[in-house]
Amino acid sequence: MGVLDGKVSFVTGGSRGIGRAICLALAEAGSDIALNYSTSREAAEEVAALIHKMGRKALIYQANVSNPDEDDTMVAQIVKDFGLVHIVVNNAGITRDKSFVKMDRPMWHEVLNVNLTGPAMIIHRLIKPMMEHGWGRIINITSIVGQMGNFGQANYAAAKGGLIALTKTLAREFAKKGVTVNAVAPGFIETDMTAEVPPASLDIVKQMTPMGRLGKPEEVAATVAFLASPQASFITGEIIGVNGGMYM
Ligand code: NAI
């Protein structure tokens, strides 16, 4: 028996990195999983196969979360396949880094669309039945960069900072309906996203991190699983850092 037995979780960007670890942690806790991916079908199928082995249902859905038509089709199909979605994890995210003076409009809009507008619109599509049911969990994956800012990431910091503000506002709006809204703010975690960061910059990150290392996707996923659990029932509007002490 898991604490999330009978629950359905929808995770965006679930085929790799932090999203993959979140899918596995929620399934481990007993949840069935609707897994969104954007490009790598094979990787998504692999995660679904691991979840099946745990005895849980897992289905995969291809969609670009910043495309309203694709979101509509995906959410309609998920509701058809699973019925009510109890837990939404907005994990999908991208970076398009450049110093602000060199950042062009497409770079700005792409990051805002995927990292902020996408999550907001996904919540908008799923929240009504959740509120009618009287129980739900929304967990947004923001970033330490949304809390501290970071050179070369004005678009990403604005999107992730916006996601924090969205989390707090929706926490207030949905609290009386039994739906909690929280965010997890990872520091630097070992995934494809940080694989793009030059090693010298990662050394500086490690020096700035009291624990002296990068985090692991599973450490972020464990926090998400806790926030999704019944044990986190009185926590809403929180931004939980998983950053080895880099920001406190
Ligand atoms: P990643 O690049 O390994 O994975 C991102 C996932 O999002 C991929 O599965 C990708 O296909 C998916 N995705 C990207 N754009 C999409 C779109 N338009 N529609 C649907 N899916 C899309 O990165 P990682 O590290 O696993 O990141 C996951 C989340 O954690 C992101 O929101 C990221 O901003 C956040 N984060 C990551 C940190 C890190 O150090 N790795 C630090 C702080 C936050």
Mean pLDDT (whole number) for 189-213? 95
Query: Which tokens is 109 given?
Result: 């809009």
Mean of the pLDDT values across residues 22-50? 98
Ligand 1 neighbours by CB, cut-off 6 Å: 12-13, 15-19, 36-39, 64-66, 91-94, 114, 141, 143, 186, 188-189, 191-194
Task: Please report which confidence band the pLDDT of residue 204 belongs to, taking 50, 70 and 90 as the band edges.
Answer: very high
Residue 3 inside a domain? The answer is: no
Q: Summarize pLDDT for 177-187 with one digit per residue, the tens.
A: 999 999 999 99
pLDDT at position 208, please? 96
Q: What would the mean pLDDT of 77-83 be, rounded to a whole number? A: 98
Instruction: Give residue 40 CA to ligand 1 midpoint distance, Å.
Output: 13
For residue 196, the model assigns a pLDDT of: 87
Q: What is the CATH number of the domain that holds 119?
A: 3.40.50.720
Q: How far is the CA of 102 from the centre of ligand 1 (A)?
A: 23
Going from the Cα of 91 to the center of ligand 1, the distance in angstroms, rounded, reads: 6
Residue 1 lies in a domain: no
Instruction: Say whether 156 is catalytic.
Output: yes
Report yes or no on 247 lying in a domain.
Answer: no
| Overall average pLDDT of the 61-76 stretch | 98
pLDDT in tens, 2-21: 999 999 999 999 999 999 99
For residue 112, pLDDT beyond 90: yes
Q: Would you state the pLDDT for residue 1?
A: 79
Q: What is the pLDDT of residue 57?
A: 98
3-state secondary structure of 17: helix
pLDDT exceeding 70 applies to what percent of the chain? 100
Structure-token pair, residue 63: 């969609």
Q: Is residue 49 very low, low, confident or very high in pLDDT (cuts 50, 70, 90)?
A: very high
pTM for the model stands at 0.98
Query: Number of folded domains in the chain?
Result: 1
Dihedral angle of Cα 17, 126, 237, 151, to the nearest 10 degrees: 40
- Region for residue 13 given its phi and psi (left: phi exceeds 0; alpha: psi -120 to 50; beta: otherwise): left
| Residue 227 counted as domain residue | yes
C-alpha distance from residue 83 to each of 8, 86, 212 (Å): 9, 10, 44
What is the band of 105 on the pLDDT scale with cuts at 50, 70, 90?
Answer: very high
- Residue owning the nearest CA to atom 41 of ligand 1: 189
For residue 66, tell me if it sits in a domain. Answer: yes
Has residue 117 been placed in a domain?
yes
Do residues 47 and 18 touch, judged by C-beta distance below 8 A? Answer: no
| Ligand 1 site-directed mutation target among 61, 75, 91, 113, most atoms within 8 Å of CB | 91
In which domain, by residue range, is 70 found? Answer: 8-238
- Tell me what the mean pLDDT of segment 216-234 comes to: 98
Please report whether residue 103 resides in a domain.
Answer: yes
% of the chain surpassing 90 pLDDT = 98
Give per-residue pLDDT as tens, 130-179: 999 999 999 999 999 999 999 999 999 999 999 999 999 999 999 999 99
Closest Cα partner for 4 from 33, 23, 22, 30?
30
pLDDT of residue 39: 96
Residue 195, judged by CB atoms within 10 A of its CB (0-12, 13-18, 19+), counts as exposed
Asked if residue 2 belongs to a domain, the reply is no
User: Which residue's CA is the nearest one to ligand 1's atom 32?
Assistant: 93
